[in-house]
Amino acid sequence: MSVLIAPSILSADFANLQRDIEMVNNSKADWFHLDVMDGVFVPNISYGFPVIKAIKKYAKKPLDVHLMIVDPDKFIQQFKDVGADVLTVHYEACIHLHRTVHAIKDAGMKAGVAINPHTSVHLLEDIIADIDVVNMMSVNPGFGGQKFIEHTYEKVETLKRIIDFAKSKAKIEIDGGVDLNNAAALIKAGADVLVTGNTVFSSADPSATIAKLKNI
């Protein structure tokens, strides 16, 4: 299967959100990637329920919601109610990750687990069979448009081996600094989903950029 492309709405024009949603609808993109930041887990605040609900009204593709928040368990049902299809929590934010992952699935969503650049992929070995998506952060979470961390390739290769060994169906999603130069190597290393914010939305023709990423 070809790589899935998930444009990150964090880099969209919030004053023209519907236009940018339609652009993604009419492009070769597969998912909408929505970044929720609480100013505690990460040093930035983005957007929350009302904005996701508004996006859901127009989005014709699944919503991949990436929670960069502490204590995500409190809000699982609310994210389901506003339309999340994939709900991703951070490994570093969850004391009882197994419970959280199953609460997400029980609420009727795909469960994702994100790991920060410093977090070892080996820490996922005992939960990998329960996970639908691993979001591997290739920048420190909090902002769009940051520089890709090169060590990510090694982590993707190791995670791929862990997934295959466990016969897990987890997809590997790369998040942060993905561009037209590193996408091919990421796919070769084992990436299944590429999140792209700045690369897509700062390009002259976002839809054409999505198509280029999709065809790599």
Residue numbers of the site for ligand DX5 (CB under 6 A)? 8, 10-11, 33, 35, 66, 139, 141-146, 175-178, 195-199
Residue of closest CB approach to ligand DX5: 197
Largest CA distance in the chain: 46
Contacts of 108-113 spanning 24+ positions with Cβ under 8 A: 108/80, 109/79, 109/80, 109/84, 109/85, 110/85, 110/86, 111/86, 111/87, 112/64, 112/66, 112/86, 112/87, 112/88, 112/173, 113/88, 113/89
Q: Of these residues, 30, 35, 85, 132, which one is catalytic?
A: 35
* Shortest CB 127 distance to ligand DX5, Å: 20
Quick check: is 81 catalytic? no
Interactions with Zn ion, residue window 1-40 (CB under 5 A): 35
Helix axes 17-25, 49-58, angle to 10 degrees: 50
Q: For every residue of 194-209, which 3-state class applies, written as one string?
A: EEECHHHHCCCCHHHH
* Complex with ligand DX5: residue 5 or 165, whichever CB lies closer: 5
* Shortest CB 171 distance to Zn ion, Å: 14
* Complex with Zn ion: residue 20 or 175, whichever CB lies closer: 175
Q: Of 72, 175, 189, 210, which one interacts with Zn ion (CB under 5 A)?
A: 175
* Complex with ligand DX5: residue 49 or 143, whichever CB lies closer: 143
Q: Is 192 an interacting residue with respect to Zn ion (CB under 5 A)?
A: no
Quick check: is 35 catalytic? yes
**Residues tagged active-site:** 35, 175
